[in-house]
Structure formats: C-alpha cells, structure tokens
C-alpha cells in the first residue's frame, strides 16, 4: 500500500496533475504542425518488447505522452531495462522477475492489459489487475481472456486480478465475437510464441495493428494477413532484437485538422499518413473545408460557412470514435443540424454537458447526439472527463468568445505531447497554468 501511495504522489508531482489550460478564443490558426508518433501503436509495441530477451529499439515514440511513460514504468516494474538512446527508446526484457501489473498502474491506464499476452506467451504466467470501467464505458476484456483460454491458458479471476497460466500456449482458431483493437493486439502477441498455427478471425483493422505486426515480423515472428480481418500466425520458439519506427498519430493529426477548420484558419499537418485519415477527410470536405493531401501531409483551409455532415463511429477504416468529440465541437460551428451516432462506447458523450456550458445547442437521445448550429460559443471554465473529450473542449475554446479555462488537463496529457505549445506555434492564444 505504501508503494501505491508513493506512486500516486509521484504522479501528481511528475505530471502536473493540477494543471489547467487557459485559452483566449477567436484567432484563426495558421501554419504548420508536426504530428508525433502514435500513442495507440507505441503502447502495444512497447509491450511487445517483453517477448524477447534481446534489446528492442523503437523510434518516433511520443515520449511526453503520459500513457507512454506509464507503460514504460510498468515494464520497468516487471524488470525491463528501459533507456533512451538519443531519440530511440531501448527496451530489454532480459531480467524479468515480476509478473504482476498492479492495480495502481492499471487503474491509470487500462492499456496495461497489453502485457498479459506477451507475459503468458514467454513466461507462462501473468497476473494483471482487471481494468474495471472507465469514463467512456464498461470496457470489459472478456474477449482477451476467451482468446487466451482458446490457446490453452488457465484463467482465474480473484481479488480484482486476472491470472493466466500455461506451460506453453498452443496455437488455435479464434473468432472475435466483436471487433476489439487491444484484444486483437494481445492475442497476436500471445500467438507468436505459441506452439503451432493460430488463425484469428474478425480482427480489428486499425493501422496501429499493422504497425505492431511489422515490429513482430522484424523480431522474427511468422505472421500474415495484416490489414485483413483474418490474421494467421505460426508460432516460433523465440524472437530476437529489432529496430522499428512508430507510425504517426492519426488521431492527433485529425485533431489539428479540426483545429484549423473550427478557427477558420489555414493549417498544414505534417509527418502524418493521409490515407489513415480518409474517413475524417471525407467529412471535412463535405462540410466545406478545402483540403490538399500530400505524401505525408494534409493542408486544410476553411474561410467559409461550414455545412453539417452526419457521422457514425465504427471500427477502422470508418469514422473513428477517437475523433467523435472533436468533430462534435466543429459541428457546433456548422449551419444546420448534424447527427452524431456513437456506436463503439456506451458513454462517450461526456463532453456534451461541458460544451452546453459554452452555449452549444446539443440534444442527446441514447447514442445519438443532435448538434444544432451555428452557435456563437462563449468561453467558460470547463472540466475534462476523458482524453478526447478534453481535446473537444480545447477546440471549442479556440473559437469561443472570451476566455476558456480547461481543468483536469492530465486527461489531455495522456494522449497529446504538450498540445498547447503546438497550438501556440499555429498562433493560438493559449497557455498552461501549473
Ligand atoms: C482501443 O481501445 C484504443 N486504445 C481506444 O483509444 C479506442 O477508442 C478503441 O480502441 C476503439 O477504437 C488503445 O489502442 C490503447 P476495443 P480498446 O477493445 O482496445 C468492447 C484513445 O482515446 N469490448 O476495440 O480498449 C468495448 O467495451 C483510446 O486513445 C468488449 O466488450 O477498445 C468497446 O465497446 C480511448 N470485450 C468495443 O468492444 C472485450 O474483450 C471496442 O473496444 C474488448 C472490447
């Protein structure tokens, strides 16, 4: 218990948990902004380093993103030797002596569950705190566990922890009843060291999964079928050292494109993969924004009226739930009614009440939100409830009249590297109040 208390107070100091962000709205953004590496690829790739005793080198890791630091801390807790060599993160799991991911770490970041597959695959045992619910939904991990059981793991749940044990996992055929991103990643990582052949069906298609597969293949894994719903893995006895560069963060890129649109600005987002943003670009084009996609950049301009364009969130390649809140803020500035269907998480409209406090006119009916625009938003003190909701409130603050103060900034730091500095670079009047 003393250790847990110490870890929490360490978080408060290290990560400025009490910080706020102050925004003065009304300035059109202008200029270029560079996207960081993808948080949702860095997390599984860091966990994958547990699959070998050799060093794994990861580049383009968003080191200032808090969830990434938490994952590195978790691996160090398990016994990994982690260090930065220049801009590369070096991870070596050659002295793993702990197999438990404690509640105090998992409760701050549910993606900690990604150590489950690699630990049981390489060491035959893992104990991970059950993540429990979060602001956006219940988010069970039943499919992760069902898949591991199909590989022959013995799964027990006790005292809030799941323990998985197996002499050696055995390849199997498993079909996900529903699409799950980290579920797909966990079972792929479990199967690469399993005995024999595994076929996973109805896999998620998010680009972060293909990125993980690229790393695992470089470590010597035998995998085929990335970017398709069916992934086939032939287990190997061991994996070895590798170097890999993490793909750009498409959600961060999308957030900056929406920042350019909502402020009536002219923004170029660089070091991104335009193809990963197709669903968003289609909607921004329909809403009236001018878009130019380059090889690894997208330029957006909005100097006119915005038109409403309905969205439905679905697994990739359709519209991502992680851009739903940001897109909602944009649609408060469109002339007419926009309907937003959230199909992935049952409670991902927490930002609505705060946007309404900024004078937005939004009505929620179950998992559909109806945004009535155009509304002249007014600045206010608002409270972040989760990562993407906080990005939505920050975007609303950029266009609102007067001052907006965003509280509980630690939510936004979980997924964006110093977002206020990048926005200031684009001409926003924004500052962090520590
Ligand atoms: C990943 O979460 C992302 N996180 C989320 O991003 C993202 O919102 C989500 O995928 C959907 O795109 C990371 O990659 C670290 P799921 P994940 O399993 O894997 C249900 C952000 O903002 N489900 O694909 O946890 C689940 O409740 C974060 O960066 C089960 O029922 O999401 C949800 O309704 C937030 N049983 C749906 O499936 C399971 O075993 C999809 O969840 C697993 C999931």
Q: Is the CB of 404 under 6 A from ligand 1?
A: no
User: What pLDDT is stored for residue 3 in this prediction?
Assistant: 47
Of the residues 45, 134, 272, 289, only one is catalytic, namely 134
CA distances (Å), origin 19, targets 5, 15, 25, 278: 20, 9, 19, 34
Listed in sequence order, the residues at least 6 apart from 353 whose beta carbon sits closer than 8 Å to its beta carbon are none
Nearest CA to ligand 1 atom 30: 140
For residue 25, give both structure tokens.
């709205």
Q: What is the residue with the minimal CA distance to atom 39 of ligand 1? A: 141
Separation CA 93–CA 122 (nearest Å): 11
CA of 266 relative to ligand 1 center, distance in Å? 33
Work out the average pLDDT over 174-199: 98
Instruction: Give the tens place of pLDDT for each residue, 219-238.
Output: 999 999 999 999 999 999 99
Average pLDDT over residues 135-164: 95
Q: Are 248 and 230 in contact (CB under 8 A)?
A: no
pLDDT category at 134 given cuts 50, 70, 90 is confident
> Is 87 exposed, middle or buried, given 0-12, 13-18 or 19+ CB atoms closer than 10 A?
exposed
Tokens matching residue 93: 């799991």
> 178 in ligand 1 pocket by Cβ < 6 Å?
yes
344 in contact with ligand 1, CB cutoff 6 A: yes
Residue 186 — pLDDT band, cuts 50, 70, 90?
very high
Side by side, the strands of the sheet bearing 429-433 are: 381-383, 403-407, 20-24, 429-433
The 3-state secondary structure of 147-202 reads HHHHCCCEEEEECCEEEEECCCCECCEEECCCCCHHHHHHHHHHHCCCECEEEEEC
Element (H, E) at 252: helix 250-262
For range 183-212, the mean pLDDT: 98
- Cβ of 47 below 6 Å from ligand 1: no
Please state, in angstroms and rounded to a whole number, the distance separating the CA atoms of residues 424 and 286. Answer: 28
Q: What are phi and psi of 140, to 5 degrees?
A: -70, 170
Distance 38 CA to ligand 1 centre (A): 15
Residue from 400, 328, 332, 329 nearest 372 by CA: 332
CB 338 within 8 A of CB 310: yes
When pLDDT is cut at 50, 70 and 90, the band that residue 9 belongs to is low
Predicted confidence at residue 4, as pLDDT, reads 47
Q: 15: burial class by Cβ within 10 Å (0-12, 13-18, 19+)?
A: middle
- Is ligand 1 within 6 A of the CB of residue 62? no
Residue nearest atom 25 of ligand 1, based on CA coordinates: 182
Residue nearest to ligand 1 atom 43, measured at CA: 141
pLDDT (mean) for 246-256: 98
315 CA to middle of ligand 1, Å?
10
Provide the β-strand partners of residue 55: 92
Mutate to test the pocket of ligand 1, among 66, 70, 180 (most ligand atoms within 8 A of CB): 180
Rounded to whole angstroms, the Cα distance separating 250 from 315 reads 14
Tell me what pLDDT residue 132 has.
75
| Arithmetic mean of pLDDT, 272-281 | 98
CA of 182 to the centre of ligand 1 (A): 6
Residue 203: active-site member: no
> 322 CB less than 6 Å from ligand 1?
yes
Q: What is the pLDDT of residues 308-332, one digit of tens each?
A: 999 999 999 999 999 999 999 999 9
Separation of CA 302 and ligand 1 centre (Å): 32
375 C-alpha to ligand 1 centroid (Å): 32
Question: Which protein residue has the closest C-alpha to ligand 1 atom 8?
Answer: 322
128 backbone dihedrals φ, ψ, rounded to 5°: -130, 135
* Best mutation site among 39, 40, 150, 186 for ligand 1 pocket (most ligand atoms within 8 Å of CB): 40
Question: How large is the angle between the packed helices 250-262 and 387-399, nearest 10 degrees?
Answer: 20
For residue 274, is pLDDT > 60? yes
| Position in ligand 1 atom list of the atom nearest CA 141 | 40
Nearest CA to ligand 1 atom 27: 139
160, 148, 92, 93: which is closest to 124 by C-alpha? 148
Mean pLDDT of the chain: 95
Residue 138's pLDDT is 86
Tell whether the model's pLDDT for residue 15 goes beyond 90: no
Locate 113 and state its tokens: 């569950």
Cα separation, 82 vs 31, whole angstroms: 36
Q: How far is the CA of 322 from the centre of ligand 1 (A)?
A: 10
Band (pLDDT 50/70/90 cuts) for residue 8 is: low
């Amino acid at each position: 218990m003393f250790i847990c208390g110490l870890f929490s107070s360490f978080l408060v100091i290290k990560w400025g948990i009490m910080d706020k962000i102050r925004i003065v709205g009304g300035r059109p953004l202008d200029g270029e902004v560079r996207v960081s590496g993808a948080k949702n690829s860095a997390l599984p790739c860091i966990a994958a380093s547990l699959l070998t005793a050799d060093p794994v080198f990861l580049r383009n890791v968003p080191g200032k993103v808090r969830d990434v630091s938490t994952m590195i801390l978790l691996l160090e807790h398990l016994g990994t030797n982690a260090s930065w060599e220049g801009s590369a993160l070096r991870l070596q799991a050659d002295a793993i002596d702990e197999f438990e991911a404690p509640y105090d770490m998992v409760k701050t970041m549910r993606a900690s569950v990604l150590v489950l597959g690699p630990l049981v695959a390489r060491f035959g045992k893992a104990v991970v705190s059950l993540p429990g619910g979060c602001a956006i939904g219940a988010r069970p991990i039943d499919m992760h566990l069902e898949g591991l059981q199909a590989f022959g793991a013995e799964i027990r749940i006790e005292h809030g922890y799941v323990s998985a044990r197996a002499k050696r996992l055995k390849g199997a055929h498993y079909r996900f009843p529903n699409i799950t991103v980290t579920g797909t990643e966990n079972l792929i990582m479990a199967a690469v060291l399993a005995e024999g052949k595994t076929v996973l069906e109805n896999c998620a298609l998010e680009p972060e999964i293909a990125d993980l597969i690229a790393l695992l293949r470089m470590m010597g894994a035998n995998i085929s079928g990335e970017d398709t719903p069916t992934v086939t893995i032939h287990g190997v006895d061991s994996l070895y050292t590798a170097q890999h560069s993490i793909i750009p963060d498409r959600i961060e890129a999308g957030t900056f494109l929406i920042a350019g649109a909502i402020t009536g600005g002219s923004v170029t987002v660089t070091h991104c993969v335009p193809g990963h943003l197709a669903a968003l670009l289609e909607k921004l084009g329909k809403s009236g924004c001018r878009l130019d996609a380059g090889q690894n950049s997208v330029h957006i301009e909005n100097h006119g009226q915005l038109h409403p364009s309905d969205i439905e969130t679905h697994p990739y390649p359709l519209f991502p739930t992680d851009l739903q809140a940001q897109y909602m803020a944009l649609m408060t500035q469109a002339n007419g009614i926009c309907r937003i269907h959230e199909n992935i998480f049952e409670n991902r409209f927490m930002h609505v009440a705060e946007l309404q406090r900024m004078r937005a006119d939004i009505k929620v009916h179950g998992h559909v939100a109806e945004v009535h625009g155009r509304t002249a938003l007014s600045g206010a003190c608002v409270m972040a409830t989760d990562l993407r909701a906080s990005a939505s409130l920050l975007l609303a603050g950029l266009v609102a009249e007067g001052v907006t103060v965003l509280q509980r900034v630690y939510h936004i730091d979980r997924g964006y590297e110093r977002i206020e500095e990048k926005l200031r670079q684009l001409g926003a009047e924004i500052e962090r109040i520590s």
